[in-house]
Amino acid sequence: MAKSDGTEHNRRELLQAAASSALLALAAWPLAARAQTAGGTPLKIGMIGSGREGGALGAALVKAGHPVMLSSRHPEELKNLVGGLGPLAKAGTVDQAIEFGDVVMIVVPYGAMQQIGRDYAAALAKKTLVIDVSNPIARRDGADLVKAVDEQGGAGLATAKMLPGAHLVRAFNAIGSAKIAADAHRAGGLVGVPIAGDDTNAIAVASSLIREIGFEPVLIGGLAKGKYLVPGTPLGGEHSPAEIRTIAAGLS
Ligand SMILES: NC(=O)c1ccc[n+]([C@@H]2O[C@H](COP(=O)([O-])OP(=O)(O)OC[C@H]3O[C@@H](n4cnc5c(N)ncnc54)[C@H](OP(=O)(O)O)[C@@H]3O)[C@@H](O)[C@H]2O)c1
C-alpha cells in the first residue's frame, strides 16, 4: 500500500527504481506483469476525465494513498466528488491536472482524444506514464471515428499517434466503473486487468499502481494489442489473470 507522507525525493527514487526494474520486467512478457517496481511510494496522479470511470479510478487511487487531481472543463462541478474523497483529492482544470501529475490517466470519450493530443501531447510526453482508459464506441463517438481507429490498427496505436512521445499504457478499458470499487482487493482471487504497452518503464509503473488498488495486471503485449482492450472483444468484461493469459495467447 502506498504511504501518504512521501516527498519529491521519494518520488524520484521510485521512478528511478521503476526504470531499473523495467529491464527485468520485460525479460519475458508473462513475468512483466508480476514485476513489483513502484509500490510503496505515492505518485501524483492527474486525471483527464473524472466522470463515471475516471471518478471511480481516482477514488481507488486516493484510497491507495496517492494524491490525485481530478479534472473537468468545469472543475467547480467536481466539488462533491472531491469533498467525499478526503485531503489527497483535489479538483482542477485539465491543464492543472496535467501539470500536477507524475502520471496522467486519460478517461474521456474517445472523440475527445484528438483535441487532447493537439493541446497537450507535448506536456503529456514529459510524464512518466500516461494510462489510456478511453475507448472508441460507435454509439457515442460515431461509426466514422471507430472505422478510422480500426484503420490505424486499433485504439492503442491510434492513441499513440495522437500523443507522440507519451509513455503510454492502455488499461482498465473494459472494466466498468461500478466494478472498480466492488472488485478491488476482493476476496477469492484478484480480478485481472489486461494491459498493453511498448514502454517498459511505463508498464512497470502502471503494473504497480494496478496492484496497489487491488487488481492483478496482465501484460498482453504491445500497443498494437490495445485493439483488444475495448468492450466487446474476448478480453472485455472481467476475467481472472489466468483466463486473461489464456485468451491473450489466442489473439493475433
Ligand atoms: N463508464 C465505464 O464503466 C467505463 C469503463 C471502461 C472504460 N470507459 C471509457 O472511459 C471513458 C470515459 O467514460 P465515462 O463513462 O467515465 O464517461 P463520462 O462519465 O461521460 O465522463 C467523461 C469525462 O470526460 C471528460 N471530457 C470529455 N471531453 C473532454 C475534453 N475534450 N477534455 C477533457 N475532458 C473531457 C468529461 O469532463 P467534463 O466535466 O469537462 O465534461 C468527463 O469527466 C470512455 O472512453 C469510456 O469508453 C468507461
pLDDT tens-digit series, residues 129-140: 999 999 999 999
Is 137's C-beta closer than 6 angstroms to any atom of ligand 1?
yes
How large is the average pLDDT for residues 103-127? 98
Q: Express as a percent the part of the chain with pLDDT over 70.
A: 84
Q: 143: which 3 cell numbers?
A: 461509426
Between the CA of 110 and the centroid of ligand 1 the distance, in Å, is 8
Chain-centroid distance, C-alpha 129? 8
pLDDT band for 4, please (50, 70, 90 cuts): very low
CA-closest residue to ligand 1 atom 36 = 49
- pLDDT, average across residues 93-105: 98
Query: Does residue 72 register a pLDDT over 70?
Result: yes
pLDDT of residue 185: 84
pTM of the model: 0.88
Phi, psi of 206 (to 5 degrees): -60, -40
φ, ψ dihedrals at 219, nearest 5°? -75, 120
pLDDT at 108: 98
For 46-70, the pLDDT digits (tens) are 999 999 999 999 999 999 999 999 9
70, 94 contact by CB (below 8 A)? no
Residue whose Cα lies nearest atom 45 of ligand 1: it is: 134
pLDDT band of residue 184 (cuts 50, 70, 90) is confident
In the predicted model, is pLDDT for residue 11 greater than 90?
no
Q: Closest ligand 1 atom, CA of 178?
A: 3
What pLDDT, on the 0 to 100 scale, is given for residue 22? 30
CA separation for the pair 201, 177 (Å, rounded):
26
Distance CA 2, CA 38 (A): 9
Give me the mean pLDDT over the 118-137 stretch. Answer: 98
Reported as a single tens digit per residue, the pLDDT across 146-159 is 999 999 999 999 99
pLDDT band, very low/low/confident/very high, at 39 (cuts 50, 70, 90): low
Q: Whose CA is nearest to atom 20 of ligand 1?
A: 51
Rounded to whole angstroms, how far apart are CA atoms 185 and 130?
23
